[in-house]
C-alpha cells in the first residue's frame, strides 16, 4: 500500500477546505413523503458530525509524539474540521427546512461514550474507518432518497470528503497493524472485521427507513458493507507488502 506523509494530508485537507461545492442560493425542495423517510436519520447524522473531536485530538497528540510525527496531529485537526463542516452544512439545511437540530440521539450517545474512554490510536482508527464507510453508504442512500438539488449537493460534497478520509485512516490502520506480531495481527484482523460488521448492522437497524427510501434493501446494504470491509480492512489490504513505509520507519527510529 502506498503510504502518504502527514505533510501530504495537511496539504490535501487544506486545499479541499478552499473548495466550495454547494450552491447555497438554491432553495430546498423536499417533499413531505421524502421528509418522512429521511428526517430522523438526517438529524441523527447531523448531530454525529458535530463533535468537537477533543478526545481524538488528545489520542492523536500522544500518538504523534510517540512516532515523532508532529504533522500527523495537524492532519487530524484538519480532518476533524471537515467533519464539522459536514455537521454545519446538514444543520444549515435543517434550519432551511425549519426542522430542529437535535441535541441527543442514542447512537450518538453510545459512540460518544466509547470515544470518551478511548485513548488508543488503533481503536480510534478502526472506529473512525467503520463510521466513515457507513457514512459513504448512508449519504449515497440519502442522495438517492431525495430530489432536492441542494440536499443532493450537500451529500455529494460529503461523499467526496469521505473518500479521502477513508484513505487517510486506512493508511494509519495499515501502519499500526504492521507493527504487530503475527499472532496479534491475526487477532486484530478478526476483531476489526467483527467490529465493522456489528457496527454496520446497528446502523442498518437505526436507519433502515432511509436506506430503503434510497433503494437499499438489507441484502444490498450488506453487500455494500462487505465490499467496503474488504476494501479498508481486508487481508489483501492489511497484509500488503508493497508499501512506502516512511511513518513506520520513524517509529523504528524512536524505538
Positions touching Fe ion (CB under 5 A) are: 49, 83, 86, 132, 162, 165
Q: Which residue is nearest to Fe ion (CB)?
A: 165
In angstroms, the CA 197 to CA 192 distance is 9
Contact 123, 226 (CB under 8 A): no
In angstroms, the CA 141 to CA 146 distance is 9
Nearest distance from C-beta of residue 108 to Fe ion, angstroms: 13
CB of 166 or CB of 251, closer to Fe ion: 166
Q: Between the CA of residue 35 and those of 15, 30, 67, 145, 246, what are the distances in Å?
A: 34, 7, 47, 9, 48
**Orientation of helix 32-48 relative to helix 70-96, angle to 10°:** 150
CB of 138 or CB of 221, closer to Fe ion: 138
Contact 66, 254 (CB under 8 A): yes
Nearest distance from C-beta of residue 84 to Fe ion, angstroms: 9
- Tell me if residue 116 falls in helix, strand or coil: helix
Phi, psi of 147 (to 5 degrees): -105, 5
CB of 37 or CB of 130, closer to Fe ion: 130
Nearest distance from C-beta of residue 203 to Fe ion, angstroms: 14
Nearest distance from C-beta of residue 161 to Fe ion, angstroms: 6
CB of 133 or CB of 250, closer to Fe ion: 133
Contacts of 78 (CB under 8 A, 6+ apart): 9, 10, 13, 14, 17
CB of 64 or CB of 154, closer to Fe ion: 154
Contact 99, 38 (CB under 8 A): no
Nearest distance from C-beta of residue 239 to Fe ion, angstroms: 25
Nearest distance from C-beta of residue 180 to Fe ion, angstroms: 25
CB of 111 or CB of 189, closer to Fe ion: 111
In angstroms, the CA 60 to CA 86 distance is 21
Amino acid at each position: 500500500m502506498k503510504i502518504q506523509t502527514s505533510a501530504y494530508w495537511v496539504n490535501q485537507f487544506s486545499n479541499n477546505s478552499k473548495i466550495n461545492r454547494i450552491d447555497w442560493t438554491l432553495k430546498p425542495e423536499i417533499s413531505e413523503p421524502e421528509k418522512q423517510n429521511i428526517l430522523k436519520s438526517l438529524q441523527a447524522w447531523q448531530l454525529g458530525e458535530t463533535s468537537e473531536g477533543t478526545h481524538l485530538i488528545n489520542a492523536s497528540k500522544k500518538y504523534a509524539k510517540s512516532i515523532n510525527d508532529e504533522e500527523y496531529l495537524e492532519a487530524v485537526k484538519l480532518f476533524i474540521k471537515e467533519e464539522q463542516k459536514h455537521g454545519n452544512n446538514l444543520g444549515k439545511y435543517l434550519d432551511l427546512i425549519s426542522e430542529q437540530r437535535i441535541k441527543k440521539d442514542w447512537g450518538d450517545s453510545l459512540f460518544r461514550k466509547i470515544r470518551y474512554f478511548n485513548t488508543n490510536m488503533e481503536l480510534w482508527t478502526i472506529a473512525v474507518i467503520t463510521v466513515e464507510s457507513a457514512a459513504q453508504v448512508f449519504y449515497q442512500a440519502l442522495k438517492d432518497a431525495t430530489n432536492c438539488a441542494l440536499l443532493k449537493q450537500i451529500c455529494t460534497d460529503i461523499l467526496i470528503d469521505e473518500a479521502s478520509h477513508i484513505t487517510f485512516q486506512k493508511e494509519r490502520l495499515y501502519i499500526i497493524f504492521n507493527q504487530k506480531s503475527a499472532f496479534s495481527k491475526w487477532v486484530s484482523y478478526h476483531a476489526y472485521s467483527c467490529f465493522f460488521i456489528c457496527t454496520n448492522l446497528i446502523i442498518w437497524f437505526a436507519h433502515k427507513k432511509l436506506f430503503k427510501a434510497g433503494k437499499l434493501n438489507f441484502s444490498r446494504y450488506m453487500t455494500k458493507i462487505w465490499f467496503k470491509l474488504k476494501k479498508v480492512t481486508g487481508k489483501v489490504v492489511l497484509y500488503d507488502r508493497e508499501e512506502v513505509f516512511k511513518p513506520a520507519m520513524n517509529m523504528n527510529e524512536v524505538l
